[in-house]
Amino acid sequence: MRRRDFIRTGTFTGLVAGAGGIGGAGDPLAAIVGGPARRTAAGPVRLSSNENPLGISPAAKDALVEAVVLSNRYPADQHRALVGKLAAAHEVAENQVVLGTGSAEVLQMAVQAFAAPRAKLVMAEPTYEAVTNYQRTEAYELIRVPLTSGHEHDLDRMREVAESSGHPALVYLCNPNNPTATITPSAAIDAWIADAPEHVFFLSDEAYIEYVEDERLWSSLPWIGSKRNVLVVRTFSKIYGLAGLRIGYGIAHPDTAARLSDFASRNNINQLAIAAAGASFRDEALMEKSRKVNRQSREMVEATLGELGLEHMPTQANFLMHRINGDLATYRGRMAEAGFLVGRDFPPMLDWNRLSFGLPEDMGRFCDTLRGFRGKGWI
Amino acid sequence: MRRRDFIRTGTFTGLVAGAGGIGGAGDPLAAIVGGPARRTAAGPVRLSSNENPLGISPAAKDALVEAVVLSNRYPADQHRALVGKLAAAHEVAENQVVLGTGSAEVLQMAVQAFAAPRAKLVMAEPTYEAVTNYQRTEAYELIRVPLTSGHEHDLDRMREVAESSGHPALVYLCNPNNPTATITPSAAIDAWIADAPEHVFFLSDEAYIEYVEDERLWSSLPWIGSKRNVLVVRTFSKIYGLAGLRIGYGIAHPDTAARLSDFASRNNINQLAIAAAGASFRDEALMEKSRKVNRQSREMVEATLGELGLEHMPTQANFLMHRINGDLATYRGRMAEAGFLVGRDFPPMLDWNRLSFGLPEDMGRFCDTLRGFRGKGWI
């Protein structure tokens, strides 16, 4: 997070309860937080991190509060119970499911587990940057392949790169892709997986799959029964609204899951995250409400962008990429002044912004703000 | 956790709320959980994982509940605020503090960050096994040095091993040591740190330091200002009673902290863990109560072991090691039957048990159970 964004969140005082040293007199942050730019207690509207604006579901909250009594107990039993629930729902064995502190930890396990001398990491540009960050400490040769002009993964080029030698290749496929919210048709991915040599490993990040309406996209899950070289990653951070609780999971062949597990942090998942995830998983009412609200906000934003003639990409997720006709940092700063946090840099697309969909009422105000920016010649 | 222990915890049904597949009709676990051996809803008494039996403090619970509204938001701001609070309290810079999902993740970061071709990992036998597990995926040569007859780290031997070549050596010092609860005098550790070459890295695990009454033990924290090769690890799992929330931290020279951070999982810490930790940190009333209850339970257990003539080690933590005069697995099984979960295997000490101190009333029942075992000739 950039400093400009950070100081505007307004949420960080008081949230660490008893934090006498933060925001108090003499604290260097106090001047920033308490300064004239400070917003209301509720803080700015966060349209920056693809979070679910509906928040935790009532059922998940109840489960979480009931589990507070377990705060002093290590989570092994509850962890195992949630793995059992996920495995049963996905019709796989328990030893095929690996929990992580968000899908982020599962991605980290994969990057670490499949590192090897002269291994390649093949990924789109732009795509979600966690994998890029994790590979910095590993031996990978990083190969970035630009999306096609249709905003799809360039599978032909990725395949050429991944299979051009016998060295191991970890292929990261984020579908829908973050930050573009665009999809790559699964039929083409399946065709590659079916034919790929074993040294090509597919890391299929399906963080946003529950939002997808386009029937050309489906999960890579069916492959894990027969292929050791496929890992599907899911998260509770998006449709389930639990980004702050840090829980996600991977599903793979038992041998692959075992390799990953060696890289999990001991007792990684928080008791309350387990409780909330268990109560949220496949809660159809929650999922339908999330999709409905997302659709309302998306349609409002798309209409406004159309009205303003600002190009945007087609979206199959809870965010979209749109042109801003100018410098991204300047745009972001002005949006922060107006009370909206918007997306970070995704090079090389520095004249586009990634906009997460908030609640419809907030998006109404956002659209008004965009129109105001146009009036000032800022976009 | 062994299966026998697991089936006795009795806590895993209902904790994953909405877990229709777990414990329900037709679930293979239901027969186990609902079988004749099932205990009360509260489950057996956990004296197996060095948890704080008092549970989360009221202030931490309030802070946590207040933070539930953040469950759908990524924790970067709150994370940074807690780092600021910890840094201020320890009188270090913010870039010297690294949060982990329990101290377990900080230990993992260290093991991964300092791995190198032909690096050595030098540790006591027995000691806490997390570091041993993490090194399995790395290039370390693992060298285990038995504790002295006085149950201290054998620093002379560890030093000889660590410095016998110019290869990097990661030296793990758990003080008080888990599972023995015994201490190694800090003066001797300081003498080594003062003279050690830079290729020897000290990983100082101070998980239990808040329980220590013996004045011969103090923190290694003063070294981090001048030494890049010292990392001090602390946890909220023990004296603060937050083991289930998974939060701990490391403190080191800024350069060392930066090296570690590369291995942290992205957005690693749960919002609610941050809130509870912030509200618990240096809460003197909570700490004093934890110490007092621990002392009561310890004195009761020591008296009973003395009465039964069962040898035990001196303890400076919230657990102790005692002889069981028999086979550990058998003993553990019988304790589980009686409603008590007790410690796991710590080879090579397989005729000793690690006993965590629970609430005094539970320890009273435990002591009666021990006497009953003696009556049956089991110990």
* Cβ atoms of residues B291 and B315 within 8 Å: no
- Number of A/B CB contacts below 8 angstroms equals 291
User: Which residues of B fall within a CB distance of 8 Å from A207?
Assistant: none
User: Which residues of B fall within a CB distance of 8 Å from A65?
Assistant: 65, 68
Which residue among B22, B101, B262 places its CB closest to the CB of A81?
A: B22
Residue B125 pLDDT more than 90?
Answer: yes
User: In the prediction, which pLDDT does A208 show?
Assistant: 98
User: Which residues of A fall within a CB distance of 8 Å from B265?
Assistant: 100-102, 104-105, 108, 265
The chain-wide mean pLDDT, for chain B, equals 90
Strands (E), chain B: 45-47, 97-100, 120-125, 141-146, 169-174, 200-205, 230-235, 248-252, 319-323, 340-342, 352-356
* Residue in chain B lying closest to A17 (CA): B279
Which residue among B51, B61, B78 places its CB closest to the CB of A15?
A: B78
* Residue in chain B lying closest to A113 (CA): B137
How close B57 gets to chain A, by Cα (Å)? 10
Residue B13 pLDDT more than 70?
Answer: no
How close B236 gets to chain A, by Cα (Å)? 10
User: In the prediction, which pLDDT does A43 show?
Assistant: 84
Provide the pLDDT confidence category of residue A213 given band limits of 50, 70 and 90: very high
Residue A195 pLDDT more than 90?
Answer: yes
Cα–Cα distance list, A23 to A273, A283, B85 (Å): 28, 39, 10
- Over residues A5-37, the pLDDT tens digits come to 333 333 333 333 333 333 333 333 333 222 233
Q: What is the pTM of this model?
A: 0.90
Q: With pLDDT > 70 as the criterion, what percentage of chain A qualifies? A: 89
Q: Do B77 and A270 touch (CB under 8 A)?
A: no
User: In the prediction, which pLDDT does B344 show?
Assistant: 93
B288 CB contacts (<8 Å, ≥6 apart)?
none
Provide the pLDDT confidence category of residue B23 given band limits of 50, 70 and 90: very low
User: Which residues of B fall within a CB distance of 8 Å from A47?
Assistant: none
pLDDT, average across residues B111-127: 97
Burial class of residue A327 in the structure, from the number of CB atoms within 10 Å of its CB (0-12 exposed, 13-18 middle, 19+ buried): exposed
How close B21 gets to chain A, by Cα (Å)? 6
* Cβ atoms of residues B246 and A72 within 8 Å: no
**Per the structure block, which two tokens stand in for B314?**
């001196």
User: Which residues of B fall within a CB distance of 8 Å from A246?
Assistant: 75, 101, 267-270
C-alpha span between B362 and B47 (Å, rounded): 9
- Over residues A344-375, the pLDDT tens digits come to 999 999 999 999 999 999 999 999 999 999 99
Which residue among B11, B54, B133 places its CB closest to the CB of A266?
A: B133
Q: Where are the alpha helices (DSSP H) in A91-164?
A: 103-113, 130-135, 155-162
A370 CB contacts (<8 Å, ≥6 apart)?
A304, A305, A308, A310, A379
How close B375 gets to chain A, by Cα (Å)? 32
Rg of chain A's alpha carbons, rounded to an integer? 21
C-alpha span between A46 and A53 (Å, rounded): 8
How is residue B312 annotated by DSSP? B
User: Which residues of B fall within a CB distance of 8 Å from A100?
Assistant: 265
Which residues sit opposite A341 in a β-bridge? A46
- Over residues B295-352, the pLDDT tens digits come to 999 999 999 999 999 999 999 999 999 999 999 999 999 999 999 999 999 999 999 9
Which residue among B71, B244, B280 places its CB closest to the CB of A244?
A: B71
Q: Who wins on pLDDT, A40 or B224?
A: B224
User: In the prediction, which pLDDT does A16 show?
Assistant: 37
User: Which residues of A fall within a CB distance of 8 Å from B112?
Assistant: 112, 137
Which residue among B56, B134, B274 places its CB closest to the CB of A68?
A: B56
How close A279 gets to chain B, by Cα (Å)? 5
Q: Do A9 and B77 touch (CB under 8 A)?
A: yes
How close B354 gets to chain A, by Cα (Å)? 16
Strands (E), chain A: 45-47, 97-100, 120-125, 141-146, 169-174, 200-205, 230-235, 248-252, 319-323, 340-342, 352-356
Q: Do A9 and B276 touch (CB under 8 A)?
A: no
Q: With pLDDT > 90 as the criterion, what percentage of chain B qualifies? A: 88
> Smallest Cα–Cα separation from B21: which of A92, A83, A85, A94?
A85
Q: Do A273 and B271 touch (CB under 8 A)?
A: no
Q: Do A17 and B278 touch (CB under 8 A)?
A: yes
Q: Which of B240, B270, B281 to mutate to test the interface with A (most CBs of A within 10 A)?
A: B270
User: In the prediction, which pLDDT does A27 show?
Assistant: 35
How close A93 gets to chain B, by Cα (Å)? 13
Provide the pLDDT confidence category of residue B43 given band limits of 50, 70 and 90: confident
User: In the prediction, which pLDDT does B42 show?
Assistant: 67
How close B257 gets to chain A, by Cα (Å)? 15
**For A296-313, b where at least 16 C-beta lie within 10 A, e where not — what string?**
ebbebbeebbeebebebb
* Residue in chain B lying closest to A47 (CA): B73
Q: Do A84 and B17 touch (CB under 8 A)?
A: no
C-alpha span between B182 and B253 (Å, rounded): 28
Which residue among A21, A81, A242 places its CB closest to the CB of B12?
A: A81
3-state helix, strand, coil in chain A (%, to 5): 40, 15, 45
The chain-wide mean pLDDT, for chain A, equals 90
Which residue among A18, A19, A265 places its CB closest to the CB of B108?
A: A265
* Residue in chain B lying closest to A280 (CA): B18
User: Which residues of A fall within a CB distance of 8 Å from B54?
Assistant: 72
A274 CB contacts (<8 Å, ≥6 apart)?
A67, A75, A78, A79, A81, A82, A247, B15, B16
- Over residues A45-71, the pLDDT tens digits come to 999 999 999 999 999 999 999 999 999
Q: Do B266 and A133 touch (CB under 8 A)?
A: yes
Residue A167, phi-psi category: left (phi > 0), alpha (psi -120 to 50), beta (remainder): beta
pLDDT, average across residues A251-276: 98
User: Which residues of A fall within a CB distance of 8 Å from B357?
Assistant: none
- Over residues B238-251, the pLDDT tens digits come to 999 999 999 999 99
Provide the pLDDT confidence category of residue B79 given band limits of 50, 70 and 90: very high
User: In the prediction, which pLDDT does A163 show?
Assistant: 98
- Over residues A118-175, the pLDDT tens digits come to 999 999 999 999 999 999 999 899 999 999 999 999 999 999 999 999 999 999 999 9
Q: Who wins on pLDDT, B43 or B106?
A: B106
User: Which residues of B fall within a CB distance of 8 Å from A241?
Assistant: 71-72
Residue A174, phi-psi category: left (phi > 0), alpha (psi -120 to 50), beta (remainder): beta
Residue identified by tokens 């013996």 is: B214
- What value of ipTM does the predicted structure carry? 0.89
